[in-house]
A and B are shown apart, each in its own frame.
Chain A
Amino acid sequence: EAGVAQSPRYKIIEKRQSVAFWCNPISGHATLYWYQQILGQGPKLLIQFQNNGVVDDSQLPKDRFSAERLKGVDSTLKIQPAKLEDSAVYLCASSLLGLFNEQFFGPGTRLTVL
């Protein structure tokens, strides 16, 4: 079974530029998550989708971050414009729908903002 795919793996941009990350979840997983993991910290949930609807985006900085999950499968996360403090690993995870289901994580995209 293929895991969660993410691209690109690494990205370096200047502050105020824009960047986009892509995630392809495990086939059949209805729930998709985007996390931000700053160096030395645990992952922090940015947004949670169930199929193509948003369940929780309370910690998403909506003035600069946006995310979509068209057709309930792939998802993109965009930052526009980027700030220095956005340097982090952006992790995508997916899970089956249900009371408790394991979240499977992708390898992440390491973003460096200069």
Chain B
Amino acid sequence: QKEVEQDPGPLSVPEGAIVSLNCTYSNSAFQYFMWYRQYSRKGPELLMYTYSSGNKEDGRFTAQVDKSSKYISLFIRDSQPSDSATYLCAIEGGSEKLVFGKGTKLTVNP
């Protein structure tokens, strides 16, 4: 079983839709949970991170962590064409080492 599993998609939605992106992980010792956004031909950039179970909101983005189920989610409300990118979940596995999911490619159509 891989440490982090993420459905690679691709996912295509109309502008204004609510997007749900998900990852599961195997190691209960993981402490920090992150979502990175990667535009084509660019490096990943940190979108949000959480430490504990529960929700964290930042504008149109909500990150959700359920440690009991080892499940993390990212919700995007009122999606925009500029949100079109690959979204990578990442989990901090100790010693500042990140373990990434495969990434989900999202396209928001105007």
Q: Which chain A residues have a beta carbon within 8 Å of chain B's beta carbons? A: 4, 31, 40-45, 48, 55-56, 91, 93, 95, 100-108
Q: Quick check: B102 and A41 within 8 Å, CB to CB?
A: yes
Q: Quick check: A42 and B96 within 8 Å, CB to CB?
A: no
A44: contacting residue among B8, B46, B100, CB under 8 A: B100
Assembled-state Cα–Cα distance A22/B98 (Å): 21
* Contacts known (A100-B32, A100-B92); A107 close to B41, Cβ less than 8 A: yes
Q: Quick check: B43 and A45 within 8 Å, CB to CB?
A: no
Question: From A59, which residue of chain B is reached at the shortest CB distance?
Answer: B97
Q: Is B7 positioned at the interface, with any CB of A under 8 Å from its CB?
A: no
Q: Is B95 positioned at the interface, with any CB of A under 8 Å from its CB?
A: yes
Q: Tell me, rounded to whole Å, the shortest Cβ–Cβ distance linking A62 to chain B.
A: 18
Assembled-state Cα–Cα distance A39/B98 (Å): 18
Chain B interface size band reads 20 to 34
Q: Quick check: B92 and A107 within 8 Å, CB to CB?
A: no
Q: Quick check: B96 and A101 within 8 Å, CB to CB?
A: yes
Contacts of B84 in A (CB 8 A): none
Question: From B36, which residue of chain A is reached at the shortest CB distance?
Answer: A105
Q: Quick check: A108 and B43 within 8 Å, CB to CB?
A: yes
Contacts of A95 in B (CB 8 A): 96
B102: contacting residue among A40, A48, A104, CB under 8 A: A40
Contacts of B4 in A (CB 8 A): 42
A56: contacting residue among B8, B43, B51, B97, CB under 8 A: B97
Q: Quick check: B97 and A105 within 8 Å, CB to CB?
A: no
* Contacts known (A40-B102, A42-B102, A42-B103); A103 close to B46, Cβ less than 8 A: yes
Assembled-state Cα–Cα distance A100/B97 (Å): 10
Restricting to B33-64, which residues have a CB under 8 Å from any CB of A? Answer: 41-46, 49, 51
Assembled-state Cα–Cα distance A42/B41 (Å): 14
Assembled-state Cα–Cα distance A63/B94 (Å): 26
Q: Tell me, rounded to whole Å, the shortest Cβ–Cβ distance linking A98 to chain B.
A: 8
Assembled-state Cα–Cα distance A101/B51 (Å): 12
B98: contacting residue among A4, A103, A106, A108, CB under 8 A: A103
